Amino acid sequence: MNQTKQALANAWIGLVVLSILSFAIAASSGIGPAIETLIVIAFAAMKGRIILVWFMGARSFPQAWRVFFAMWLLVNAVVIVGFHLVSPA
Amino acid sequence: MDAPIRQAVESADTNAPRPPAAVPALPGDAGFWTFIAADAILFALLFFQFSLDRSHHAQVFDAERGELVIALGAVNTLVLVTSSWLMARGVRSASLGDIDSTLRWITGTVSLGGVFAVLKITEYVLEIRFGHAPSTSTFFMYYFMITGIHLVHLLAGVIALSAISLRLRSAPNYGRNRVFLECGASYWHLVDLLWMFIFPLLYLAR
């Protein structure tokens, strides 16, 4: 949980950039809703991973907890994207 | 190098005590993480149920999603990730023994938590003025329920961090406050982590 100042700043910049890219992709209408959803949810999972690793210090967690949070991110992303893809347009 | 000397050097190298390897451990109190895991699972179930219901009424959900004030949600995303960064800086300062800086970082975190709450309540007021209430439709029931539960979590985090801040002021010692500080920080990061999925799920995905 105790990262360097630079690592924390980089993590914050990464979160801000991914958030802004998500807003921009959602605001654009050229790539289609399915791809758009896939990208914004993938970005959400990436942001979740950044928070877990750099802010919460997940790399030093016991393995069972690392697996739990990795699965939590993966299952959320797959469930959201999966249901969006199978729903009628 | 003479053989006895070389033997002594090799013996010294192999017998030298090694620095202790980092033992995997959860920040703060391990029991608190059971609560964090339970909360994470609760929200995962809400995301699942929302996605399932949306898959049956995609056009209705997407039309109502268009009624949300996305700009406020977007600003709140930036507010929350910034507050999480400030909290991480606070934990770092505390571990270095700089309690004054820690208090400043926590104050920043709590302030941004307040900004998030004000913007979220503003959004609720606007939605209700637009004629959207929890009873209006399934989408708005989910919107108010998921963001409402998240807002309650955020307010609990603001209260907890304020209490930790008071504790640090009265006893400015990292060792005595480490568990409280790390639990508070982990909880705050969880609130941020949950919002990373809530925002795209409710406001962006279509």
Q: Is A38 on the interface with B (CB under 8 A)?
A: no
For chain A, first and last CA: distance in Å?
43
Number of alpha carbons in the 13 Å side-chain half-sphere of residue A9: 3
Looking at chain B, the whole-number percentage of residues with pLDDT higher than 70 is 89
Selected residue with higher pLDDT from B172 and A55: A55
Banded pLDDT at B13 (limits 50, 70, 90): very low
Q: Of B92, B197, B204, which has the smallest distance from its Cβ to A26's Cβ? A: B204
Provide mean pLDDT across the span B3-9.
Answer: 48
Q: Looking at beta carbons, which residues of chain B come within 8 Å of A5?
A: 89, 92
Cα(B177)–Cα(B91) distance, integer angstroms: 11
Model confidence at B196, in pLDDT bands (50, 70, 90)?
Answer: very high
Chain B's closest residue to A80, CA to CA, is: B51
How much is the pLDDT for B173?
83
pLDDT of residue B54 exceeding 90, the answer is yes
Nearest CA in chain A to B83: A12
* A68: exposed, middle or buried (Cβ count in 10 Å: 0-12, 13-18, 19+): middle
Residue with the larger pLDDT of the pair B107 and A1: B107
User: In terms of C-beta density within 10 A (0-12 exposed, 13-18 middle, 19 or more buried), how is residue A89 classed?
Assistant: exposed
A52 confidence band (pLDDT: 50, 70, 90)? very high
| Distance (Å) from the alpha carbon of A88 to chain B's nearest alpha carbon | 7
**Per-residue pLDDT at B97 exceeds 80:** yes
Q: Residue with structure tokens 């909290």? A: B87
Mean pLDDT of B61-78: 94
Alpha carbons B87 and A2: distance in angstroms, whole number? 11
Nearest CA in chain A to B53: A83
Please name each of the domains of chain B with its CATH number: 33-204 (1.20.120.80)
Q: For residues B185 and B2, which has the higher predicted lDDT (pLDDT)?
A: B185
Residue B143 has pLDDT above 50, yes or no: yes
Give the percent of chain A with pLDDT over 90. 79
Mean pLDDT, chain B, rounded, equals: 90
If pLDDT is split at 50, 70 and 90, which confidence band does B206 have?
confident
In this structure, the dihedral spanned by the alpha carbons of residues B114, B117, B122 and B124, taken in order and rounded to 10 degrees, is -170
Please compute the mean of the pLDDT values over residues A42-47 and round it to a whole number: 97
Give me the pLDDT at residue B9, please.
44
By Cβ distance, the residue of B44, B74, B186 closest to A75 is B44
User: Which ipTM score applies to this complex?
Assistant: 0.94
Average pLDDT over residues B163-181: 90
Asked if the C-beta of A28 comes within 8 angstroms of chain B's C-beta atoms, the answer is no
Confidence of residue A3 (pLDDT cuts 50, 70, 90): confident
Look at residue A89 and tell me whether its pLDDT is greater than 80.
no
Position A66 scores a pLDDT of 96
How far apart, in whole angstroms, are the C-alpha atoms of residue A35 and residue B37? 30
For residue A82, give the chain B residue with the closest CA.
B51
* Angstrom distance (rounded) from CA B200 to CA A9: 23
| CA of residue B116 relative to chain centroid, distance | 13
Residue in B26, B87, B185 closest to A62 by CB: B26
Position with higher pLDDT, A2 vs B91: B91
**Taking CB atoms and an 8 Å limit, are A56 and B77 in contact across chains?**
no
What's the confidence (pLDDT) of residue B22?
67
